[in-house]
Amino acid sequence: MITRALQSPIQARLFKGKAILLLGPRQSGKTTLMRCLEQDYEGRSIWMNCDNLPDREMLNGITSSQAPTLFPPGTLLLIDEAQRLENTGLSLKIITDSCPGIQMIASGSSAFELSDKIREPLTGRKVLMVLYPLSLGELGSHTDIAEVNRTLEARLIFGSYPDVVNQAGNELDVLSELVSDYLYKDVFLMHDIRKPDIVEKLLRALAHQIGQQVSYRELAGLLQVDKETVEKYIRLLEEAYVIFRLPSYASNLRNELKKSQKIYFVDNGVRNAVINQFNPLSLRNDTGMLWDNLMITERRKWNHYQGRRINTYFWRTSRQQEVDYIEETGGQLEAFEFKWRNAPGLKFNATFSQAYPEAGKSIIHKNNYWAFLPGPADP
């Protein structure tokens, strides 16, 4: 069992008066994490799975007079697949308001399925947390740094979903099932997607543009749909934890790009499954793209698990000067460039360095990336 980085932060928030909502991609390990939390809790716990009709019907019809009898003080109430409820927010609000002294943890498979249903009913009563596929830090804590370094190419190619990591040698079958059975499920089931083939074509186009500026207009022309459709599908794919957007940073220079964005995949394996490309690095021409995607997603996981509130960007000018990744917090900038190999003479972008002399600057490569992902001991 690989200990998840969110386990301790969640345990630190137990019985503090707020419901904990655990979101994230399907198959990222939410149910397993909740089982671990249940196992570690020494008091009374109740498990409810909203995929099961009796549990779902009971929660759908719960009243403020029934709830305290069902869930007395000191109860750890775990509700899996909460998005299946007819009115998730109302049901969870009734329990939260009428059952003082309990702790509720509810999981949901994607942001638009669960958080949209609970935003208003649970205002001020909830803590949102996201569980991503396994991080390199979690893997390092489970084994050691040497083992993570040894399997780094596998993470670049096959990603870090728990079943992928736990079924080494069977990665292609696991990813194929994940993409065909789970990846689009949230989008297709919860929204009126009239052209699902467009979503798949859009993802393939985005998979080839990692680290590049994305133009909705160009994508619309490629897919022969309108720009608004592309915007809608990208938003839904982001809310389903398949992709995420990175905006551009601009402050000093007149030729900085101010409204551009890049799109990355939440998991490298999913990206490669979308284009059915699993060749080893020695036979690929996109290693740099894979390294960029892995580092940015890993940093994103680490920032979330550490509770860091930061703004993230990339930087580029009209003259093609570029910095891969920037973090801004409290008016301070930290800038990073990603290079798979530590080639002699690597230097940080001179134009950015001159424009932002006070910013921290680092080049991250396969020999020093643990300085960027502060170590397997931290989770």
Query: What secondary structure does DSSP assign to 114-130, as a single string?
Result: HHHHHTTTTTTTEEEEE
Task: Name the token pair of 316.
Answer: 């580029």
How far, in Å, are 1, 101, 105, 245, 286 from residue 96 at the CA level? 31, 9, 11, 34, 49
Nearest to 79 by CA among 132, 126, 130, 34: 34
Assigned fold of 7-130: Rossmann fold (3.40.50)
As given in the structure block, the two tokens for residue 356 are 């932002």
Contacts of 61 (CB under 8 A, 6+ apart): none
Burial classification of residue 243, based on how many CB atoms lie within 10 Å of its CB (0-12 exposed, 13-18 middle, 19 or more buried): buried
Tokens standing for residue 84: 């299946």
The predicted pLDDT at position 258 comes to 60
Tens of pLDDT along the chain (379 residues) come to 899 999 999 999 999 999 999 999 989 999 999 999 999 999 999 999 999 999 999 999 999 999 999 999 999 999 999 988 888 888 999 999 999 999 999 998 766 666 667 767 777 888 999 999 999 999 999 999 999 999 999 999 999 999 999 999 999 999 999 888 777 666 666 566 767 788 889 999 999 999 899 999 999 999 999 999 899 889 889 988 999 999 998 776 555 556 789 999 999 999 999 999 999 999 999 999 999 999 999 999 999 999 999 999 999 888 888 999 999 998 899 999 999 999 888 899 999 999 999 999 999 999 999 999 975 544 3
Q: Write out the E strands in 7-164.
A: 19-23, 45-49, 76-80, 103-107, 126-130
Q: Which pLDDT belongs to residue 256?
A: 54
Query: Cα separation of 73 and 210, whole Å?
Result: 49
Tell me if 316 sits within 8 A of 248, measured CB to CB.
yes
Return the closest-CA partner of residue 270 out of 111, 342, 163.
163
Tokens of 180: 């065909």
pLDDT for res 124: 81
Any residues with CB less than 8 A from the CB of 8 and at least 6 apart, and which?
A: 379
- pLDDT at position 377 is 45
CA 45/CA 103 separation, integer angstroms = 9
pLDDT given at position 265: 97
The structural domains of the chain, with segments of one domain joined by +, span 7-130, 136-371
pLDDT score recorded for residue 106? 95
Give yes or no for a contact between 232 and 238, defined as CB atoms under 8 angstroms apart. Answer: no
Helix, strand counts (H, E) of the chain: 18, 11
Distances (CA, A) of 206 to 26, 107, 198: 21, 29, 12
Amino acid 255: pLDDT = 56
